[in-house]
Chains A and B, each alone.
Chain A
Amino acid sequence: MLYFANWKILLIVAACALGVLFSVPNLFSASLLDTLPSFVPHKQVSLGLDLRGGSYLLLKVDFAQAQHERLTSVIDTVREALRSADIGYTGLQVQGDEIVFTLRNTGQIDQARQALAKVDPDLNLTIAADGKANLAYNAAAAQTRRAQAVDQSIEIVRRRIDATGIKEPNITREGSDRIVVELPGVGDPEHIKTLIGKTAKLTFQLVDSGVSVEDARAGRLPPGDEILPGVSGRAGADQGAYVVHRRVIVGGGQLVDAQPTFEGNEPVVSFRFDSEGARRFGDATRENVGKQLAIVLDHKVISAPVIKEPILGGNGVITGSFTVQSASDLALLLRAGALPAPITILQERTVGPGLGADSIHAGVLACIVAVVLVVVFMVLFYGLFGIFADIALFFNLCLMIGALTLLGATLTLPGIAGIVLTLGMAVDANVLIYERIREEVRVGRTLLSALEAGFKRAFGTIFDSHLTTLVAGILMYWLGSGPVRGFAVTLSIGVLTSLFSAILVTRLLIVTWLRRTKPKAIPI
């Protein structure tokens, strides 16, 4: 152990130097760093939202809900297909994630198969011998659709957030159907939450003037119609419900632009269709002059103006009881597009900039106090060797911060706790080595062999004890979330760097000391 190959010394020194080099930029402000020449590393450790302030939202893409809606819309097609083929059925409905019905005549099973073959290629039809039938999406198709829905949702959430002008949002997928949204610097995410939480599915549907809402509610709803509630107005008054044709004339997907504007004094949203949308809209308005056209957003009727004349240019305005804010929100949502599935917000964690700064302050203070206490303690109990351990501890801290910076890991307040804790635990390796050396000296070994034996014997124990902490750290990272992960990262990195610093750096220091001073006895 007393012999160090030169290349080893070089490696250890280089590692320490790199640790210092990459951790030092964290001491300076970003503006100061910019004035330094480019060969100096500029990268600083990225701070978690709990330290820099900001909002964290965990979203869930409710795919089951989307699937249910899709099936509900398919049910009309199924009804149509069965009717036109003269097949009798009962109990046609959506049940869970499938459409079920029962054939009146079990002799028509083959006919039913034929009639329903073209409804949707992704739907699997099974009909039992007793006439009970169900239609369900095949697993692969559902899986693909789910993945697409999540990807698309991420894209649309991103567009909506970008449109609000928030800087550096971080939007990532988590697990199979979740999205993490991190918004640095956002102290009040309520507006964003409202924007994200809206599906914003816009459709234009004709109002069925042939039947009143009361009649329809009483069970005389014509096939192909649906009852939709009106949206609550500005004053909170319910504008009543409408009976509308299910057939969608044009959907929000055909919009190319939407802008908030004014009609007279009233805020409205103007829109423009693409050529296909413009044509369909033009045809429908030409054929239905004098009828009411319902503008439906997320299954609620915003307004249902009477078509006074054909609208052929593909431009129009949506009126409704808008405020300036809600008109500009709607325009934003329409520009960004509709979500393929509803989104629910599962979790919010918002930290204001004040608390963030306080936390950094507290964390740094705790760190400094811990270092001072441990450093003094080691010197008291081990004298010169304690100073060696302290120097190793210093490099350990640099290596930890340098590693965090280089790896691009995010430092959180629990992460700082992990660092502080590691500082306390890192010197354990030194304690083990030094205690062992003391014992070997007591049994009468010479200086060199005591040192040799101390390092060698303690190594197995140090290795074991570090590994058990690493096991805990890895499990935490694997199963934990948010705050726990930040802690697990620094704890695990700290275990690895302290293995290096406490053993190799201390040993190098002691060997150098031996060579330089040629001591007769060990000062511990």
Chain B
Amino acid sequence: MKPVPFNPGDPSEGRRADGPGLPAEAGWSFDDVYNRYFPFVWRCLRGLGIPTIGLDDAAQDVFLVVHRQLGGFRGESSPQTWLYGIARHVASNHQRRERRKQAPLEPLVAEPAHPDPGPHERAEDAEAAAFVESFLAGLDPKKRDLFILAVLEEMTIPEVATTLAIPVNTAYTRLRAVRADFERALGRHKS
């Protein structure tokens, strides 16, 4: 097995993991992918409905698959496309397992959302996150995927269309619809 180096990366780097794709021929290492795309994978898993308590497991599963399949990734799609496909599959598996459990695990500790902002900011962030989470939970999977990629991760529509294997025009139409849904839901929230 090719050893996986453990160089400490900067996990907080870059809100979005956009930029050039992984040039397979350039031999991107697991660490490169991990350092660059960990935040993307983490947020996608949240958006796909993985609760905080399950994020570690799910992220670990994603990167185990990444480690296994990195050699076969040829850069024909964008890295986000590839990673999102893995994350979606992992999230689906985790949710299936959770549904089978009699007594789901409760979160152990409610950790602060982010170390930088103050308490008020953190509370507002957490409230916004809870609202978006509930909004996503009410969407059908097609709209949810599109919302996560296009709205939250700000990927371009052609990229999103490729990721979801839908025509670009369909992606635009769904995006308009889901944005309108979001604004309506936001208007109802706290009203």
**Are A and B bound to each other?**
no
Which B residues form the contact surface with A (CB < 8 A)? none
Which A residues form the contact surface with B (CB < 8 A)? none
